[in-house]
């Protein structure tokens, strides 16, 4: 079913919509446009929890823009997919740099727009990248934040068949073989821990872009990056919450975006300070790129400092200030 232009007007298509609206707010500083762009009761799931009002998005955006006046972001990818005939779900990978320094980082914002208005969003920022660049104490930064916790759809059971419908609703059955391949990767390699099988899914010359602005290459690098995350939560599991696919030569062809939830008890290696024995709830997003039937690239983001804040809260560490969810 073709997408009704009411979903993205006055722009040419959802890709154009997402790039131009983001630039208008974050580069041209038209913060007030959020009132036209977001529903009043819009829901945002961030790494520190869920917010349920447009006003909090406005306030949070203002604080982020003010805190980083030299930062400019642009679209590195937009993986969008229709949700019915008047809505779409976009996965917007933003590459941000500073005008006067080599500091860079990435954000992925997955937004559900219905008739041109944002109704629900899932957003992850690589806050670790900036902290490492400036040589800051990441645990001190984490203790200065508070984890609010999630509400709404994020607390509901994972979709039974995310190919048919995710947290954002029913999806078109596009590029099923590639979607099934990505889901098999998550099941076999991520959840079953058969790391030997990485070569069965990825090309030898793979690239993984992940938190801390790290670039990882080759299957062995991919294995080690996954182990590094899992070793703190050795029994943890990944849930697939949503899927989008999109083919566009602008972004190197076919991409599959996956919103995932990771839960696991912090009982392994103490990479995040003293162990708590309690579960973490991690919002993450990955974007996968295919070439000739094999995966060649993944961008995998979560907010590692927000994860530390969540763990610090479990230990009873007192936050120094209120959290900016957005």
Per the rule left: phi > 0, alpha: psi between -120 and 50, beta: everything else, 115 is: left
pLDDT tens for each residue of 72-86: 999 999 999 999 999
Residue 1 has pLDDT above 80, yes or no: no
pLDDT at 149: 94
Which residue carries 């040589």 as its tokens? Answer: 135
Residue 322 has pLDDT above 60, yes or no: no
* Distance of alpha carbon 267 from alpha carbon 230, whole angstroms: 11
Calculate the dihedral angle through the C-alpha atoms of 146, 65, 12, 286, rounding to the nearest 10 degrees: -40
47: Cβ contacts below 8 Å, ≥ 6 apart: 123, 124, 125, 282, 283, 302, 303, 306, 307
Task: List the structure tokens of 105.
Answer: 């980082």
Calculate the dihedral angle through the C-alpha atoms of 274, 189, 299, 292, rounding to the nearest 10 degrees: 170
Enter the pTM of the model. Answer: 0.95
Q: Which residue ranges form the domains of the chain, and what is each CATH number? A: 5-143 (3.10.450.50), 172-315 (3.10.450.50)
Give the residue-averaged pLDDT of 18-47.
96
Give the residue-averaged pLDDT of 235-254.
98
Give the residue-averaged pLDDT of 127-145.
95
Task: List the structure tokens of 191.
Answer: 């959840």
pLDDT at 316: 85
Mean pLDDT rounded to a whole number for the chain = 95
Residue 318 has pLDDT above 80, yes or no: no
pLDDT at 99: 81
What percent of the chain has a predicted confidence (pLDDT) above 90?
A: 93
pLDDT tens for each residue of 118-135: 999 999 999 999 999 999
Task: List the structure tokens of 103.
Answer: 């500091």
Alpha-carbon Rg for the chain, nearest whole angstrom, is 19
pLDDT at 102: 92
């Amino acid at each position: 079913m073709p997408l009704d232009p009411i979903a993205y007007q006055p722009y040419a298509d959802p890709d154009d919509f997402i790039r131009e609206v983001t630039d208008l707010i974050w580069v041209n500083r038209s913060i007030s446009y959020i009132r036209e762009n977001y529903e009043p009761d819009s829901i945002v799931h961030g790494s520190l929890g869920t917010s349920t009002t447009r006003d909090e998005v406005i306030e949070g955006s203002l604080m982020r823009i003010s805190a980083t006046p030299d930062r400019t972001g642009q679209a590195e990818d937009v993986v969008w997919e229709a949700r019915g005939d008047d809505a779409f779900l976009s996965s917007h990978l933003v590459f941000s740099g500073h005008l006067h320094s080599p500091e860079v980082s990435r954000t992925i914002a997955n937004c559900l727009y219905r008739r041109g208005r944002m109704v629900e969003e899932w957003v992850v920022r690589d806050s670790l990248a900036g902290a490492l660049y400036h040589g800051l104490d990441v645990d001190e930064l984490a203790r200065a934040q508070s984890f609010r916790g999630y509400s709404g759809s994020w607390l509901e059971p994972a979709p039974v068949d995310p190919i048919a419908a995710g947290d954002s609703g029913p999806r078109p059955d596009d590029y099923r073989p590639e979607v099934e391949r990505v889901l098999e990767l998550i099941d076999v390699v991520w959840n079953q821990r058969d790391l030997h099988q990485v070569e069965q899914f990825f090309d030898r010359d793979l690239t993984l872009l992940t938190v801390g602005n790290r670039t990882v290459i080759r299957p062995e690098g991919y294995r080690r990056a996954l182990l590094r995350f899992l070793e703190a939560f050795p029994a943890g599991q990944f849930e697939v919450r949503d899927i989008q696919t999109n083919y566009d030569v602008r972004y190197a062809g076919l991409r599959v975006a996956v919103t995932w939830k990771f839960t696991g008890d912090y009982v392994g290696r103490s990479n995040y300070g003293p162990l708590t024995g309690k579960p973490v709830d991690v919002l993450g997003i990955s974007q996968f790129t295919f070439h000739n039937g094999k995966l060649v690239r993944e961008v995998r983001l979560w907010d590692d400092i927000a994860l530390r804040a969540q763990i610090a809260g479990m230990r009873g560490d007192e936050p120094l200030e209120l959290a900016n969810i957005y």
